[in-house]
Each structure stands twice: as structure tokens, then as C-alpha cells.
Amino acid sequence: MKYRIGISCYPTVGGSGVVATELGKQLAERGHEVHFITSSVPFRLERMFPNVYYHEVEVNQYAVFQHPPYDLTLASKMAEVIDREQLDILHVHYAVPHAICAILAKQMASYPVKIVTTLHGTDITILGVDRSLQPLIRFGIEASDAVTAVSDDLIRQTHKLVQTTKDITTVYNFIDERQYHPVNSLHLKQEYGILDDEAVFIHISNFRPVKRIGDVISSFEIITSRIKAKLLLIGDGQDLPAAREMIREKNLEDSVLVLGSQKHLAELLSISDIMLLLSEKESFGLVALEAMACGVPVIGTNIGGIPEVIIDGESGYLCKVGDVEAVASRAVELINNRSLHQQFKEAARSRVLEQFHSNSIVAKYEYVYQQVLDRK
Ligand code: GMT
């Protein structure tokens, strides 16, 4: 069956926006008609794709409103698109605000659309602890026709924090394998002044406090006292100035390359030996999957959904949050054991292709759509 599917997400850089956009692109490739309803063109929608349409949510400021009414404008746009395009499914990413907007839109529209909500983590583990938002999140989840979450751990967290018994299905994240695979980008090493005998560590994030950038730098400080290494920091966010300060204080300016937001991640990952993902909250860790797809083992924290992505001792290592000594020891051990490192690289890539392949993940979403549409 081919469906007409509306997708709403935050279109800016961020895991949930990336997953929503990649899903839309893959659904369109499989013959579905996909309508993005977002405040700007999703950043991964970098060119025209057949079967993909974009409906802009234009938020105007009126003197009567104290704040620009994004949620209301979105709901109204959703209702318009549901009826005009006769959407079978409105797939929203985030319980708040997007599921709430979708529920409102469904009430306004005449066409019998079904709402599928995907929880990504930030909407639950950060907003879900805010008592003033809890009832709203619970309502968004319970009034959706189907709810998916990006890890089993996120389902447990949702049931606990939001106090709902709603049936939620795990649908793991995926990457586009055509984009994330090992590439020959050795020239970058020369351009960045990375020597042949230096191990390359990489961290990619939005530099929010949950990512614990301080732990990444502290682990690297220990690592670089034991082996020759460079650290690539990719991304931008509120903790980047503090990270720069820490790098300066620790005299690591020559070995930490702060590269800011970058587009060609497969090239940067392909020159990296190990990724560090030391977050205190992480419902999945899409960057870990991107790294693994490029053959990069990941040392991550044993929290949230990370243990569902990285198999400890096979495709990377898991350490306690804040245990920078353990992270450094594991990293040095892996770099010093070339054959083990090679084994981890292969295991990381195989894991992505076997457990998180886009074909099987997108098929799971199609199955969720089919189930809600079959349910009258
Ligand atoms: O990690 C972030 O801060 C961005 C955030 C988002 O909402 O875009 O990412 C969340 O969703 C991603 C895609 O499902 C997951 O891979 C991330 O683990 C999750 N972030 C957190 O749970 C902190």
C-alpha cells in the first residue's frame, strides 16, 4: 500500500530532525507521498526529491500575541494540509509540541487522518520531569493513534516519568548507508596537521550540558598523556565557549581541533579511530550509529539507549557517566591493540548493517502506519 504521509519535526540540526527527514526521503523513495509541514525546509532536504512536498509554517508576530504562536500556526497548517492532500498519516516527532498540534489539527480537519508520534528523548527525559508539562505530554501520547520511541529504554522512561501505560513500540533510528560508509579522506589528516602516528578521537554533538563535553576533554587529556593523539570536536552549542576555555586551561590547543558544525561527517569519521559519546542522557545516540557505519568504534556511557546501540567489548565500550579514567584506559587499550581495534571497526559496521539497516527500520514504520490504518 502507498500512503500520503505528513511529517512534522523541528527542521534544524538535531537527531530528531535528521531522523524525521531521512525517514521522509526513504518513504518517498518507496513510493509514498510525503508532505513535510515544518517552519523551514529541513536541513537534510538539501535538494528536490520526487514524491516529497514542503508546506511552510509561517509564524507571524501580531501585537495581540506576547509570543509568536508557532504551535497554533502549525496546528492550523496541519489541518489545512490534512484536508487538501487527504493525508492518511500525520507522523509527528516529539510529543510536545508536535503531537499536541497534530491532535488539535485532527479535530479541525474533516479527513480521517491517523496520528503517529515518535518520541526522541528530549521531549521525555527533559520536558517529562517538568510537572507543569507532564499532563500535556501524557495527553499527547495517549491521544496519538500509535506511538513509537527510539529505544526500549525511552519506553521505560516514558512510562515512568510521564506515568502512562500507553502501548509504545520501539523503532530504532537508522542512517542512510549510502551517505555513511568508510571513505578515503586521508588528505584531511594532512590538511588538519594530524600525524600518521597520532590516534584520532572524535566527538560530535550540539554541545548541550547533557553531552558532558568537559568529560570528553578530561578523558582526552588523560589519553594524550599516554599516547599521541588528536581530538576533533564537531558541532556547536551553548557549552562550546566553556569547552574552548577548558582546552586553553589544559594547554590542549595544539591537540584539540574545534571544527564547528560540519556537513561532510563521513569524511571526518573516516579519519577517526574512536568516537567519544559521554552523555548523561541519550535516548539513542544517532551520532554513534553514524560513526559505527563509517567503521568507527564508540566509547559511550552506559545510560539511556546507548547500550542498545553499542555492544560493550564488541563494537565499542561502555563506561559509567563521569568515569573519565575508565574512558581513557579503554581508549588507550584499544588504540594499542591494532588487531582488536580492527575487529571492533568491523563489528561496528556490521552491527549497523545488520541491526539498524534503513530498509528494515523504514519497513517497521510502514507496518506501524498499516496497523493504525487497519484499525477502524
Ligand atoms: O541529542 C540532542 O540533544 C538532540 C535530540 C533531538 O531531539 O533532536 O536528540 C534526541 O533524538 C535523537 C534522535 O532520535 C537521539 O539519537 C538522541 O539520543 C536524543 N537525545 C537525547 O536523548 C539527549
Helix/strand/coil for 256: strand
Give yes or no: residues 272 and 311 share one domain. Answer: yes
CATH of the domain at 113: 3.40.50.2000
Q: How far is ligand 1, taken at its centre, from the CA of residue 191, in Å? A: 31
Q: Where are the alpha helices (DSSP H) in 109-186?
A: 134-142, 152-161
Give yes or no: residues 146 and 203 share one domain. Answer: no
Q: Residue 194: CA atoms inside 13 Å, Cβ hemisphere, count?
A: 22
Give yes or no: residues 55 and 67 share one domain. Answer: yes
Find the residues whose C-beta lies inside 6 A of ligand 1: 14-16, 19, 120-122, 125, 150, 173, 206, 208, 210, 281-286
Distance of CA 362 to the CA centre of its chain: 16
| Averaged confidence pLDDT in the chain | 96
Q: How far is ligand 1, taken at its centre, from the CA of residue 166, in Å? A: 21
Distance CA 102, CA 146 (A): 13
Task: Give domain status of residue 181, yes or no.
Answer: no
Strand pairing report for 168-170 and 33-38: unpaired
Higher pLDDT, 121 or 317: 317
When pLDDT is cut at 50, 70 and 90, the band that residue 68 belongs to is confident
- Which ligand 1 atom lies nearest to the CA of residue 123? 7
DSSP character string of 50-110: TTEEEEE------TT-SS--HHHHHHHHHHHHHHHHT-SEEEEESIIIIIHHHHHHHHH-S
Q: Which three cell numbers stand for residue 164?
A: 502512562
Least confident segment among 45-59, 206-220, 297-311:
45-59
Phi/psi at 303 (nearest 5 deg)? -130, 165
Residue with grid cell 493504525, as numbered in its chain = 372
Give yes or no: residues 204 and 248 share one domain. Answer: yes
Strand 274-277's sheet: what is its strand order? 256-260, 229-234, 199-204, 274-277, 298-301, 316-319
Note the pLDDT of residue 13. 67
pTM value is 0.96
> In 150-262, where do the E strands start and end?
168-170, 199-204, 229-234, 256-260
Q: How far is ligand 1, taken at its centre, from the CA of residue 274, in Å? A: 20
Q: What is the DSSP letter of 258?
A: E
Least confident segment among 117-126, 251-260, 311-320:
117-126
Give yes or no: residues 142 and 10 share one domain. Answer: yes
- Which ligand 1 atom lies nearest to the CA of residue 205? 1
Q: Kindly report the protein residue whose alpha carbon is nearest to atom 7 of ligand 1.
A: 16
Q: How far is ligand 1, taken at its centre, from the CA of residue 300, in Å? A: 15
Q: Which three cell numbers stand for residue 352?
A: 549497523
CB-based burial label for 347 (10 Å; 0-12, 13-18, 19+): middle
Q: Average pLDDT, stretch 111-137?
A: 90
Contact of 268 with 259, CB cutoff 8 Å? yes
Testing ligand 1's pocket by substitution, the residue of 120, 126, 208 carrying the most ligand atoms inside 8 A of its CB is 120
- Which ligand 1 atom lies nearest to the CA of residue 173? 14
Least confident segment among 19-23, 129-133, 256-260, 277-281:
129-133
Task: Give domain status of residue 368, yes or no.
Answer: yes
Contact of 369 with 116, CB cutoff 8 Å? yes
Give yes or no: residues 291 and 328 share one domain. Answer: yes
Task: Give domain status of residue 152, yes or no.
Answer: yes
What is the ipTM for the molecules in this complex?
Answer: 0.98
Q: How far is ligand 1, taken at its centre, from the CA of residue 256, in Å? A: 25
Give yes or no: residues 34 and 165 share one domain. Answer: yes
How many angstroms separate the Cα of 50 from the Cα of each of 24, 25, 99, 213?
A: 11, 9, 27, 40
Residue with grid cell 579503554, as numbered in its chain = 330
Give yes or no: residues 343 and 195 share one domain. Answer: yes
- Tell me which H or E stretch contains 354: helix 338-355
Q: How far is ligand 1, taken at its centre, from the CA of residue 14, in Å? A: 7
Task: Give domain status of residue 153, yes or no.
Answer: yes
Q: Kindly report the protein residue whose alpha carbon is nearest to atom 21 of ligand 1.
A: 282
- Which ligand 1 atom lies nearest to the CA of residue 118? 14
Q: How far is ligand 1, taken at its centre, from the CA of residue 281, in Å? A: 9
Whether the per-residue pLDDT at 375 is higher than 80: the answer is yes
Contact of 180 with 210, CB cutoff 8 Å? no
Contact of 196 with 228, CB cutoff 8 Å? no
Distance CA 93, CA 226 (A): 43
Give yes or no: residues 227 and 334 share one domain. Answer: yes
Distance CA 296, CA 291 (A): 5
Give yes or no: residues 157 and 226 share one domain. Answer: no
- Which ligand 1 atom lies nearest to the CA of residue 286? 16
Give yes or no: residues 253 and 335 share one domain. Answer: yes
Q: Kindly report the protein residue whose alpha carbon is nearest to atom 12 of ligand 1.
A: 15
User: Which residues make beta-bridge pairs with 197?
Assistant: none
Task: Tally the domains of the chain.
Answer: 2
Distance CA 57, CA 76 (A): 9
Q: How far is ligand 1, taken at its centre, from the CA of residue 123, in Å? A: 9
Give yes or no: residues 53 and 86 share one domain. Answer: yes
Task: Give domain status of residue 180, yes or no.
Answer: no
Residues 6+ apart with CB under 8 A from 105: 75, 76, 78, 79, 82, 90, 113
Residue-number span of the structural domain to which 55 is assigned:
4-174+357-374
Q: For residue range 306-359, list pLDDT tens digits in order.
A: 999 999 999 999 999 999 999 999 999 999 999 999 999 999 999 999 999 999
Task: Give domain status of residue 289, yes or no.
Answer: yes
Task: Give domain status of residue 179, yes or no.
Answer: no
Q: Kindly report the protein residue whose alpha carbon is nearest to atom 5 of ligand 1.
A: 15
Task: Give domain status of residue 363, yes or no.
Answer: yes
- Which ligand 1 atom lies nearest to the CA of residue 154? 22
- Which ligand 1 atom lies nearest to the CA of residue 282? 22
Q: How far is ligand 1, taken at its centre, from the CA of residue 138, in Å? A: 19
Q: For residue range 195-219, list pLDDT tens digits in order.
A: 999 999 999 999 999 999 999 999 9
- Which ligand 1 atom lies nearest to the CA of residue 94? 7
User: Which residues make beta-bridge pairs with 52?
Assistant: 34
Q: How far is ligand 1, taken at its centre, from the CA of residue 225, in Å? A: 32
CB-based burial label for 82 (10 Å; 0-12, 13-18, 19+): buried
Whether the per-residue pLDDT at 60 is higher than 70: the answer is yes
Share of the chain above pLDDT 90, in %: 89
